[in-house]
Amino acid sequence: MKDLGEFIDINKTKGLPRTYKFNQFIRWFTLIFATFAIAISIWMIFNKVDSGSSKFEQFVPFAIMFLALNSFLKNLFSLNKVKFTQEMISFRYLGKKSVNIFWGSLTKMGLNDDKRKMICLKYTVDEKEKSFEFTINFPNMLEIANSIAELAPQIEFDEFMAAVVITNEEKKTFFEKNKK
């Protein structure tokens, strides 16, 4: 870890409300470029490809359209912003509904160690347990995990998250060590 002090009392240091965003230039450039590639592919299919075209010329526009559509959909429906407020954490997307989780409703945070590494938050709404997963490769993930731990002290951690998040004992030893 870089500097333990950087993640201690992060919500007091950085303040609330606070927002973490995926790089907006990259996100919008990718969406616009993918849209352009899809449009060009469709134009090529209807205007340049005919029965006399080689198999390669017939295949390429479809391959480009598939790859561009895949990129477009990933950027449209992946996590775009994480916003911390005094009351809740909000996970916002461009192409789907935001998810808001109140601090008091959080119960567990852990790593879902499947093919894609995801952080899983378990919370309760109307006495029903729900879960929400977000990718671990979102920017400033250590700050986000430690902020969640600070704002929801009742939360339980799995083995991985317990090693990542700064505990109260680590905070005490850090402060004692830096007093000397």
**Are residues 108 and 33 located together in one domain of the fold?**
no
Confidence of residue 142 (pLDDT cuts 50, 70, 90): confident
Same domain? 30 vs 110: no
End-to-end Cα separation, the chain, in angstroms: 22
In this prediction, residue 1 carries a pLDDT of: 44
Structural domain that includes position 33? 25-76
- Specify whether the CB–CB gap between 106 and 148 falls below 8 A: yes
- Looking at the fold, whether 100 and 166 belong to one and the same domain comes out as yes
Which of 53-62, 112-121, 126-135 has the weakest average pLDDT?
112-121
- Note whether 110 and 158 are same-domain residues: yes
Domain annotation covers residue 144: yes
pLDDT of residue 41: 96
User: Are 58 and 66 spatial neighbours (Cβ–Cβ below 8 Å)?
Assistant: no
Q: Averaged over 110-134, what is the pLDDT?
A: 91
Q: Are 29 and 72 in contact (CB under 8 A)?
A: no
Q: For the purposes of burial, counting CB atoms within 10 Å of the CB of 132, is it exposed (0-12), middle (13-18) or buried (19 or more)?
A: middle
pLDDT in tens, 143-172: 899 899 889 989 999 988 888 887 666 666
* pLDDT single digits (tens) 51-105: 888 999 999 999 999 999 999 999 999 999 999 999 999 999 999 999 999 999 9
Distances from the Cα of 101 to the Cα of 124, 145, 176, angstroms: 9, 14, 34
pLDDT (0 to 100) of residue 90: 97
Q: State the pTM of this model.
A: 0.82
